[in-house]
Amino acid sequence: MPQLSPTSFIVMLVSFTLVLCVLLLFSYLNLNAQMSCFKSPSKLPQKLYYFCYGSLMPWL
């Protein structure tokens, strides 16, 4: 098993977090579509941005 360098580990971590954010976004949109109460779609990107930013900040 090859030794991971810190840089590749950070890249893996960041890409994993981004994939997680995208999956959460899709599940959130799916849930809202099923409930059909998409009251404030303009707030969604902002919320998602803050969520992703908040989850990435401790690693940076």
Q: What is the pLDDT of residues 34-46, one digit of tens each?
A: 655 445 555 666 6
Residue 27 sits in which domain range? 6-59
Please check whether residue 17 is in contact with residue 55, taking contact to mean a CB–CB distance below 8 angstroms. yes
* Residue 37 forms part of a structural domain: yes
Counting the structural domains of the chain, the total is 1
Record the pTM: 0.44
Q: Looking at the domain assignment, is residue 1 inside a domain? A: no
User: What pLDDT, on a 0 to 100 scale, did the predictor assign at position 37?
Assistant: 46
* Helices 43-56 and 6-35, packing angle to 10 deg: 150
CB 21 within 8 A of CB 55: yes
Q: Cα separation of 8 and 4, whole Å?
A: 7
* pLDDT band at 27; cut points 50, 70, 90: confident
> 27, 57 in Cβ contact below 8 A?
no
pLDDT of residue 39: 54
User: Tokens 């098993």 appear where?
Assistant: 1
